[in-house]
Structure 1
């Protein structure tokens, strides 16, 4: 009976048009958000900001999203609300306009806070849509959703090099077009989401759902708790290291290697583009070889590159940065899917919690790292962060997931 149920799950249809739609919106959303970090070199000069203030800008946006995302996810588990999908992008649109016109540091904080609210609405609810559209390919579905965001984030440095260096922060107004497109696509996704929720569930869905959660059903409550704690530490190691690169790597290149602002952005783009590529490969590999194996390889496997990066010459540093981005990026989408399987039935809460953690730790990391850089130097801070991926060794203590056995 169990084999028959697993076969039923394995043939569940994956709704690729919806997955691609939310991936495109993720691309547009994160492109708009990446304008914040893309403007850092411009704002630092024009408004005479310190590294600590730069970190606080990232902190304000990310912590807003961090606090609100678990609440949005928990609320969607209780009562899904498809219409909030386009509403979330409206907040992002308001933040984009505010950022383009902000005359001072305080106004910038208000603008990025609005963008944080938009992300808090978008990520957990869209991750829930990805889960519903995944069929039996949850790792692939989450990777398709995530890769859009990573591509969007990678466009920030290009915007600095091509656009903001020449026309300044007012150029952010062009991204109102992206916001309008995202709102239209989210309206389409919301209709599908609403229709999916209105469909009656087949009588066997409960048994199939139980068969699909063999990981959770084989573990005690205490083991699930400690597995979640380990996943939180892994998210910490990944996203604080990521924030050291996305917020400060360009300053490190400018200060220690003497490259121009425009040139430094292409190095950051290479890191983020590699991250997008790694995200796409991580999900299918996890579906095939198991979540724990790829999580372990992704985070700990980054350590050789991250440790070598600050001790290399300019060319080798760039190569190490690209390798670190590719290897490290595959972890997050798999961590989300793994946590969803640990807590079946709480997809929104888990998605909101881990996206919230990612934003919160990234924002907190940016603020703390900015203060450390002010007190010491950018080079010291980069060398200190290089060892964070070593925390990936904790993945060894995660319970083995049973995806490969269930697929047999």
Structure 2
């Protein structure tokens, strides 16, 4: 253990503050970029209430725009993660944000459905490069506190998503689509921070990371491969159902509030902000709680805690609806970082692949959900869509089949001899 800590602190590049082997300066840096990346990405659904009228778009077209954003990341992220596991590319980190910057410019200048679609694809490419490589940086900087580290990393993204409704209320309603141009500043800041992070990552790779990956990769043997594959499949299904639900809420809940309670667009967006801000809080606390009480226990809490409020949400009055939204957001996202850490511990030699797969699936599931629910809203009603969304978290009950934390530790202990032989 002492050798690992010394290798971390001796790595070339910027010197982050370390405590118990955890590099907090690097974790804060990647969390900040996650916030900036997801804030820019959140511009897309945030401008839906604006561009629906200004560009004469249908709910189906809005769903397809969200689908294009999420599909781009869904397809590319696992491929980038697999490639980076074999050949890490630290300086892809700032280059990916360049694609995001071009996408933001396109969004501000788009004149119709197709130009919006192309701009969104550029934003998706930038996001697909960002997540797998930056998740590996967070893993390397975590030390022994992986739940906390993943929470710090992911809470930045959740906070960025939560800012979307505020941006609609304070920026896009008064300034319209042209207000997107201000987000080029965020992209430039992200490029600067990612350059700093890439320097540390590059130095870390030159020291102990390559050897550590090869030792960990030996841990998944043929005897456990089937069990690991089953557990990963369950985690994928859990994440898919969760992200489809979140896509329905973030894309269409504001329309539901406007339609049922006659709220203005700014007021409806503040309600969505409450949902997303509670989700960010749940993400932040979920990781440390999982470090203390167990990964699977927090996954269970996120499912069981959210279900009753999700089912009751369409049938309550406005004040109770907002309270329920806050409770749903906190509980359902409390396992947001835990799912990733759990999967990384199942496949410790494939951090980029796992991160790319899970973040990519999150985007893909969200995009498919938005597209399907948008088409359904055109043929039925927004109220019907919100009612249907309540059934999606039920898939999370498959968590009963996940291996316990004790079983994960047992597998890790069984892998020790093969690790030492390496």
TM-score, normalized by length of structure 1?
0.93
Tell me if 1:119 matches 2:123: no
**Which range is displaced more, 355-364 or 394-403?**
394-403
Which residue in 1 is equivalent to 2:292? 288
Q: Which secondary structure state, in structure 2, belongs to the residue aligned with residue 402 of structure 1?
A: helix
Q: State the Cα distance separating 1:388 from its structure 2 match.
A: 1.5
Tell me if 1:313 matches 2:321: no
Q: Where does structure 2 lack aligned partners over 5 or more consecutive residues?
A: 9-18, 413-422
Which residue in 2 is equivalent to 1:265? 269
For residues 248-259 of structure 1, the aligned pairs below 5 Å read: 248-259=252-263
Q: Distance in 1 between matches of 2:236 and 2:208?
A: 35
Q: Distance in 1 between matches of 2:160 and 2:24?
A: 20
For residues 217-366 of structure 1, the aligned pairs below 5 Å read: 220-366=224-370
1:149/1:219 CA distance change after superposition, 3 Å: farther
Q: Distance in 2 between matches of 1:196 and 1:7?
A: 12
Q: State the Cα distance separating 1:218 from its structure 2 match.
A: 11
Q: 2:202 aligns with which of 194, 199, 210?
A: 194
Q: Which secondary structure state, in structure 1, belongs to the residue aligned with residue 140 of structure 2?
A: helix
Q: 1:376 aligns with which of 358, 376, 380?
A: 380
For residues 164-203 of structure 1, the aligned pairs below 5 Å read: 164-200=172-208
Q: Which secondary structure state, in structure 2, belongs to the residue aligned with residue 302 of structure 1?
A: helix
Which residue in 1 is equivalent to 2:39? 31
C-alpha distance after superposition, 1:219-276 (max 9, x if no partner): 7221111111111110111001000100000000111111111110000000010010
Q: State the Cα distance separating 1:300 from its structure 2 match.
A: 2.8
Q: Distance in 2 between matches of 1:146 and 1:191?
A: 21
For residues 70-219 of structure 1, the aligned pairs below 5 Å read: 70-200=78-208, 209=216
1:53/1:106 CA distance change after superposition, 3 Å: same
1:22/1:384 CA distance change after superposition, 3 Å: same
Q: Where does structure 1 lack aligned partners over 5 or more consecutive residues?
A: none
Tell me if 1:393 matches 2:390: no
Q: State the Cα distance separating 1:136 from its structure 2 match.
A: 0.4
Q: Distance in 2 between matches of 1:208 and 1:285?
A: 28
C-alpha distance after superposition, 1:49-73 (max 9, x if no partner): 1111110010001100100000110
Q: Which secondary structure state, in structure 2, belongs to the residue aligned with residue 119 of structure 1?
A: helix
Q: 1:55 aligns with which of 56, 63, 70?
A: 63
Q: Distance in 1 between matches of 2:116 and 2:129?
A: 20
**Which range is displaced more, 291-300 or 123-132?**
291-300
Q: Which secondary structure state, in structure 2, belongs to the residue aligned with residue 259 of structure 1?
A: coil
Structure 1 runs of 4+ aligned residues shifted over 6 Å read: 3-9, 403-407
- Preserved contact between residue 5 and residue 207 of structure 1 (Cα < 8 Å): no
- Preserved contact between residue 275 and residue 329 of structure 2 (Cα < 8 Å): yes
Q: Distance in 2 between matches of 1:290 and 1:6?
A: 25
Q: State the Cα distance separating 1:200 from its structure 2 match.
A: 4.3
Q: State the Cα distance separating 1:332 from its structure 2 match.
A: 2.3
C-alpha distance after superposition, 1:135-160 (max 9, x if no partner): 00111111100000000111110011
1:217/1:135 CA distance change after superposition, 3 Å: farther
- Preserved contact between residue 213 and residue 349 of structure 2 (Cα < 8 Å): no
- Preserved contact between residue 19 and residue 144 of structure 1 (Cα < 8 Å): yes
Tell me if 1:66 matches 2:69: no
1:51/1:210 CA distance change after superposition, 3 Å: closer
C-alpha distance after superposition, 1:34-92 (max 9, x if no partner): 11111000011111111111100100011001000001100100000100000011111
1:201/1:333 CA distance change after superposition, 3 Å: closer
| CA RMSD between the two structures | 2.6
- Preserved contact between residue 30 and residue 150 of structure 1 (Cα < 8 Å): yes
Q: State the Cα distance separating 1:210 from its structure 2 match.
A: 8.1
